[in-house]
Structure 1
């Protein structure tokens, strides 16, 4: 396990982030690895207007909802002592964006949270499962307990 030099932590801004970030930070410190964070914007609520959406899908947008997301990412990055250049917020499909960034940054390990799935959710799949099957590096899925 000492081959991990670049770790990518995928967060979703949920009540589970603290547990996931602590485990990822501890692992990065133990391995003396560089820790990166990614949050993928795939579903910011956008009220319909006669002229389209209120938030244009551009990372330089300065809408209040987008600013709140940026602030959350900055806060987590600061809390973990991660440089802003290692904190990523992107638009798109979470599985695809996480895997693409992992390739770009030559990530050795992706850390994600994994929810227990029951019933139809098992058949529908999850982001963690998709990342596990498609990533070109190792994936550590942190089991998230329901609260």
Structure 2
């Protein structure tokens, strides 16, 4: 088995994000890999913005919700010691943007949280499930148990 060299952490800023991030960091340390991070904006309105738009992290905007999301990504990235050149925020559909970035950046492993929901949530699909089926690399879905 080849060692992972580039690991992509797909983060959603949920209450479980810290747990998923720590699992990704453990893998990075184990394989001496580079850690990349992506956050896909799909939960805040982005007026007149097409899907697939990469949000510049080093430019200020007048949009408070966007700046709050950028600050969250910066804080997590700084805690995990992720280089600014390996941080992405994209407006779009999570599964598509995550898998597309993984291909572009030659990612070996995508780490994503999964709530393991049943019933209607499974029929509607989840980000983890979509990434698993569409990624060209390995995917590690960290099972998140609700307490």
Tell me the TM-score normalised to structure 1 length. Answer: 0.89
What does the per-residue CA deviation read over 1:70-111, in whole Å, with 9 as the maximum and x for residues that have no partner? 000000000001111111100111000000100000000000
The answer as to 2:112 corresponding to 1:112 is yes
Q: Secondary structure at the match of 2:8?
A: strand
Deviation at 1:2, TM superposition (A): 4.6
Map of 1:62 onto structure 2: 62
Runs of 4+ in 1 over 3 A off after TM superposition: none
The answer as to 2:78 corresponding to 1:78 is yes
Structure 2 residues without counterparts, runs of 5 or longer: none
Q: Work out which of the two has the higher radius of gyration on C-alpha atoms and give 1 or 2.
A: 1
Query: Which moved further from structure 2: 57-66 or 125-134?
Result: 57-66
Map of 1:95 onto structure 2: 95
Q: Secondary structure at the match of 2:35?
A: strand
Aligned residues: 139
Equivalent residues in 2 for 1:120-131, closer than 5 Å: 120-131=120-131
Map of 1:50 onto structure 2: none
Structure 1 residues without counterparts, runs of 5 or longer: 47-52
The answer as to 2:29 corresponding to 1:34 is no
Taking only aligned residues, the RMSD between alpha carbons, in angstroms, comes to 1.5
Deviation at 1:56, TM superposition (A): 4.8
Tell me the TM-score normalised to structure 2 length. Answer: 0.89
